[in-house]
Amino acid sequence: MIGKIFKLTFALFGAGITYFIYQLAFKVPQIVETIYSRGIYPFFTKTIGHLTSSLPFSLAEVLFYLFLLSILFFIGYIISAFFKPRGEKLIYIGKRVLSFFSLLCSLYTVFVLFWGLNYARLPLAESMGLSVQSGYSVADLQNLCYDLIDECNDLRNQVQEDEQGVYQLSYTRQAIMETMGDIYKTYAPDWMNVSTHCVVKGVATPNLLSYFETCGIYSPFTFEPNINMQMPDLYFASTVAHEYAHLQGFAREDEANFISWYVLSQCEEPDLAYSANLNALHYALNALYQAAPQLYSETANLLCEASKRDLNSYSEYWETFDTPISELGDKIYDSYLESNGINEGVQSYGRMLDLMLAFCQKN
Ligand SMILES: [Zn+2]
């Protein structure tokens, strides 16, 4: 009994201290950058990440199912406490609810210490020496669209397509996942501080991530980038690169998107560069539509017919998963981002464009 109370107090106290450290971290991004993101976190990926990399399956996926089982177990365990004798009933219910709560507190502590602190590191723009303006002109955005369309039209002629005339990868998905570490080693600049070579894992349960309309997910508990193996080929490479950026300690979605584009667009490999540039164009055109709808059509129409087919096929795939489950997944992820200091929630993906505009104007 005393041992149980001690464990519970320890878990609650640990989560409280962790919460305090986490809030404090956002006030000192330079210290977080130097000590945590460039020191402690890479140590975790080199040790624990190296160990989980050696497993031929996604440990995160196994833990996900174990977590679901533990929730079912606790529900049953708490319900069974209602059948205890009258005088002891409340004590048993209270103890079991608190045990479940202490499990959640422990997970929170591990999450923040293993990964969450990366949300508080310096903005990428600062590490890169870029000055990101608060607002770029519509002309800047349209020029970025033009550049990306030129790239995409050129690259689309160099890749393969299936019998429906839709883009298909020239390589196996496994090959893309296995080579991502080498691609980062070759193309990532110093400011990225790439130090870890971990294996990217494919999620084994068919369509598990598709039901949540998700292409990939990084597991901070096991240091594994996990990829949806049923998603269309089109953004497969850019998704692998995006999740790999998370593995390198870049937690913010907009920064992982930018890094994915930055690394892959330099590749001489058309498949990878096409995936990255079309993905970036997708965001740029969406932003142009919001900023100046009258310019959208004339700009988007410059994209070659083959790329338009690719985008249509991509949308059709995801429409089949547009369900209440995916909406729930969106809401959960939105809350998750907001609780980690990303106030724009899912909308923050669009800030990738600010980084791209600043980068393109500098170069
Ligand atoms: Zn992400």
Q: Where are the domains of the chain?
A: 2-120, 134-362
For 350, counting Cβ atoms within 10 Å of its Cβ (0-12 exposed, 13-18 middle, 19+ buried), the class is: middle
Mean predicted lDDT score pLDDT of the chain: 88
Q: How far is the CA of 343 from the centre of ligand 1 (A)?
A: 15
Q: Distances in Å between the alpha carbon of 353 and those of 53, 103, 189, 291?
A: 32, 39, 19, 13
Q: How far is the CA of 291 from the centre of ligand 1 (A)?
A: 25
Give the distance, in angstroms, between the CA of residue 355 and the centroid of all CA atoms in the same chain: 17
Q: How far is the CA of 165 from the centre of ligand 1 (A)?
A: 29
Q: How far is the CA of 310 from the centre of ligand 1 (A)?
A: 22
Q: How far is the CA of 76 from the centre of ligand 1 (A)?
A: 34
Q: How far is the CA of 88 from the centre of ligand 1 (A)?
A: 47
Q: How far is the CA of 256 from the centre of ligand 1 (A)?
A: 6
Q: How far is the CA of 55 from the centre of ligand 1 (A)?
A: 22
pLDDT at res. 191: 81
Sequence-separated (6 or more) residues with CB below 8 Å from residue 359: 128, 130, 258, 262
Q: How far is the CA of 16 from the centre of ligand 1 (A)?
A: 27
- Beta strand pairing call for 216-219 and 224-227: antiparallel
Q: How far is the CA of 239 from the centre of ligand 1 (A)?
A: 8
Q: Which two tokens stand for residue 90?
A: 């409340």
Three-state DSSP class for 225?
strand
Q: Which two tokens stand for residue 339?
A: 């609780």
Q: How far is the CA of 216 from the centre of ligand 1 (A)?
A: 7
pLDDT at res. 348: 41
Low-confidence ranges of the chain (pLDDT < 50): 345-349
Q: How far is the CA of 111 from the centre of ligand 1 (A)?
A: 15
Q: How far is the CA of 293 from the centre of ligand 1 (A)?
A: 28
Three-state DSSP class for 227?
strand
What is the identity of the amino acid at 335?
A: S
pLDDT at res. 26: 96
Q: How far is the CA of 248 from the centre of ligand 1 (A)?
A: 12
Q: How far is the CA of 217 from the centre of ligand 1 (A)?
A: 6
pLDDT at res. 349: 40
Q: How far is the CA of 24 from the centre of ligand 1 (A)?
A: 24
Q: How far is the CA of 116 from the centre of ligand 1 (A)?
A: 13
Q: How far is the CA of 118 from the centre of ligand 1 (A)?
A: 13
Q: How far is the CA of 251 from the centre of ligand 1 (A)?
A: 7
Q: How far is the CA of 197 from the centre of ligand 1 (A)?
A: 18
Q: How far is the CA of 231 from the centre of ligand 1 (A)?
A: 15
Q: How far is the CA of 174 from the centre of ligand 1 (A)?
A: 20
For 134, counting Cβ atoms within 10 Å of its Cβ (0-12 exposed, 13-18 middle, 19+ buried), the class is: exposed
Three-state DSSP class for 103?
helix
The CA-based angle 237-300-166, given to 5 degrees, is 45
Beta carbons of 190 and 184 less than 8 angstroms apart: no
Q: Which two tokens stand for residue 206?
A: 């068919």
Q: How far is the CA of 2 from the centre of ligand 1 (A)?
A: 42
pLDDT at res. 163: 94
Torsion of CA 67, 72, 75, 79, to 10 degrees: -150
pTM listed for this prediction: 0.89
Q: How far is the CA of 253 from the centre of ligand 1 (A)?
A: 5
Return the bridge partners of 189, or none: none
Q: How far is the CA of 288 from the centre of ligand 1 (A)?
A: 23
pLDDT at res. 302: 96
Q: How far is the CA of 73 from the centre of ligand 1 (A)?
A: 31
